[in-house]
Amino acid sequence: PGDGRVFSGIQPTGVPHLGNYLGALENWVALQNQYPLVLYSIVDLHSITQPQDPKKLRSNILDMAASLLACGIDPERAILFQQSKVSAHAELSWILGCLTSMPRLRHLPQWKIKSKQKNEGSVGLYTYPVLQAADILLYKSTHVPVGEDQVQHLELAQDLARIFNNCYGDVFPEPCALLSSTRKVKSLRNPSAKMSKSDPQVMATITITDSPDDIALKLRRAVTDFTSEVTFDPETRPGVSNLVTIHAAMAMISVEEAVSQARGLDTGAYKNLVTEAVIQRLTPIREEIERLKSDQAHLEGVLARGNRRAQELAAPVLTEVRQRVGF
């Protein structure tokens, strides 16, 4: 870690689910204790690339701040801020966009998937990964925690650092990926797909604010198979293996230990064990989110301070960039 700088962002779209928590946020919490400078951004500029409702966006931003704090993000160790409040993100994005060719963006996953769903897409959706590159480079970040699905976007940020440096002289370090655990949480209803907030099926995702009853019901309905013994084999038994993954992660034990605790239980009885582990882990988080949401002034204060600190870090970098570009 040494003098590494970590940057990551999350869109303010709804309550994080177990996949987000185990695949990203838990790692964010660990990183804030390992690196001297860590920035976590609620990336509201990214979230307006899809149709949106201003009232909802405003409350989603505060809700996401509450979720992140409740999951253990500590504003003393990490700068937690709102992307749109630091206008340098948009300005650097424009400059980097002028160094990006159209074909370079056409094959990136964000555009391919989301524009197809809509059969069209905005310019903002198309250049979404350029804004991500700007987010990262604006703080001269060296390490970026990402899921596998974001690796190609990080490669664009690396390319743009190199291209900018070649054009205008060395400014940006090339950021490297910190692949967050390969632990993939699957949909409870279709365990061959990942758990996702865009899953159209009901009861397919567990969010970090689900009540104990919701958690129990969703796990009871989770798809398994016709073998009652519990084993871990994601290829042939994705449903049961997903339960083992969730159990192990929530109880903070190894997969082997989880399987051994399941010995003698059929999948129905095992679901109760998994339910207990999930409830134990999520209850304090859910209660903390409720507490934080009841104190909006506090949340706004945390963000305002983060915005100020991010702004202070961004300003000299943007000044340097502007000089190099010739403004």
74 vs 149 by CB, closer to ligand ADP: 149
d(CA 293, CA 287): 10
Q: Contact at 8 Å (CB) between 263 and 257?
A: no
Q: How far is the CB of 313 from ligand ADP (least distance, A)?
A: 23
Q: What is the DSSP string of 222-238?
A: ----S--S----TTT-H
Q: Which one is catalytic: 186, 194, 271, 293?
A: 194
Full strand arrangement of the beta sheet holding 176-179: 79-82, 37-42, 5-10, 143-146, 176-179
Find the binding residues for ligand ADP in span 242-271 (CB under 6 A).
none
Nearest to 99 by CA among 174, 165, 150: 165
Tokens at 286, concatenated: 């859910």
197 catalytically annotated: yes
Q: How far is the CB of 128 from ligand ADP (least distance, A)?
A: 12
Binding of ligand ADP at residue 114 (CB under 6 A)? no
Q: How far is the CB of 120 from ligand ADP (least distance, A)?
A: 20
165 vs 196 by CB, closer to ligand ADP: 196
88 vs 110 by CB, closer to ligand ADP: 110
85 catalytically annotated: no
112 catalytically annotated: no
Q: Contact at 8 Å (CB) between 87 and 315?
A: no
d(CA 279, CA 312): 40
Q: Contact at 8 Å (CB) between 267 and 221?
A: no
Q: Contact at 8 Å (CB) between 71 and 297?
A: no
Binding flags for ligand ADP, 143-162, as an x/- string (CB under 6 A): ----x-x-------------
Report the alpha-carbon angle 203-261-18, nearest 5: 30
Find the binding residues for ligand ADP in span 174-213 (CB under 6 A).
184-185, 194-198
Find the binding residues for ligand ADP in span 8-27 (CB under 6 A).
11, 19-20, 22-24
Contact residues for ligand ADP (CB under 6 A)? 11, 19-20, 22-24, 147, 149, 184-185, 194-198
User: Known catalytic residues?
Assistant: 114, 194, 197
